[in-house]
Structure 1
């Protein structure tokens, strides 16, 4: 198999869900990709739903209730199988149709929404799985191409000005409000677009993790286009 992700030592490429779930992260590799070219009309599935809010969770029953063309039915079977595999693995996958995520506009110098490059954190051993079936896809970035925002002197000083406490509990403040999860791109950094159709597993920051967590972000959505995203 030949694809753009081979040769990138951040990304391990696998050929099945079993490999995706069973392969260990190691070294600089903190993202695994089940690289696949999907058939089916995922846009038809998107067209069957109307959003009253920015994000809508779609259940398996919702999917099964749709009247679809043959191409739409092929897309549906792919999604349902992904949900089934992840659930059997012990994950809790969610299928979302979304217009956009909520923006964090409280601090103009330090947004903490998912459009900012960030890592996921968990108190237990887990990973983030995601697949964009339709619409703009997420991005990741190698860890050596980013800098933790809270380590940037001018940003750190602004955060200290917000902190109502002493120096001893400043790090707790950064942790409690998730500031330490966000990253700034270094000059010349080149994010990797995860593209549609591939199922990804990204390393999460947790006590048993042996590699650095994967830095990623949600994409800015295309005007007038929804995203169909599986995530857990």
Structure 2
């Protein structure tokens, strides 16, 4: 399939949900895109939803209660179908209306919030699925274009000062506070924006994973615009 992601070794491109769940990661490929050009007015849905907190989970009942135009209804049917497909697959999808995520401003030399490039970790074999229907979309980046933040000497030294314990305990400390999940882009690195409407499967760090986990980040939101994001 010819599209903007096809010539990237990190990304596999498929054209159906069945292919998305049945295509395995391999080699450098740790992100798979169900490439879609969606019809429908997702902005209309966002304009009618009510933000209760900075991140508000939208239920199926919330969606069904909206009075929508024909194009709004097309968008709603797409979202409901995506939720159903993932639920039938055995995932637990969540539809979120997002103003912004919480920022980590506790330490000035390392950030561990979702705006920082990071990987997801699980104790069981799983994947991260996500689709942005409206608003700014997430980024991924190739593993060879990033450096683990805990391996950057000046950051590592400051973390050791913060820990103030033995070397063996230090490694546990790094995992316990998720410092080891975060990455710094190398100079001239080129993040890839995941775009709107595509449903993505990203590799997670877990014991059975045979590829490197996918490094990704949440985008800085556009001014005055909420994001509508499916994630599980």
Q: Same fold (TM over 0.5)?
A: yes
* CA displacement 1:84-142 (0-9 Å, x = unmatched): 00000000000000100000000111110000000000000000000000000000000
Counterpart secondary structure, 1:56: strand
Counterpart secondary structure, 1:44: helix
Tell me what 1:191 maps to.
191
1:26 Cα deviation after fit: 0.2
Counterpart secondary structure, 2:20: helix
1:168 Cα deviation after fit: 1.5
Tell me what 2:81 maps to.
81
Q: Distance in 2 between matches of 1:52 and 1:130?
A: 22
Structure 1: gaps of 5 or more residues = none
Tell me what 1:28 maps to.
28
Tell me what 2:59 maps to.
59
Tell me what 1:97 maps to.
97
Structure 2: gaps of 5 or more residues = none
TM-score normalised by length of structure 1:
0.99
1:181 aligns with 2:181: yes
1:51 Cα deviation after fit: 1.4
Shift >3 Å, 4+ stretches: none
Tell me what 2:130 maps to.
130
Tell me what 1:44 maps to.
44
Worse-superposed segment, 125-134 or 159-168? 159-168
Counterpart secondary structure, 1:12: strand
1:7 Cα deviation after fit: 0.7
* CA displacement 1:162-214 (0-9 Å, x = unmatched): 00421111100000000000000111100000000000000000000000000
Q: Distance in 1 between matches of 2:52 and 2:178?
A: 29
Tell me what 2:218 maps to.
218
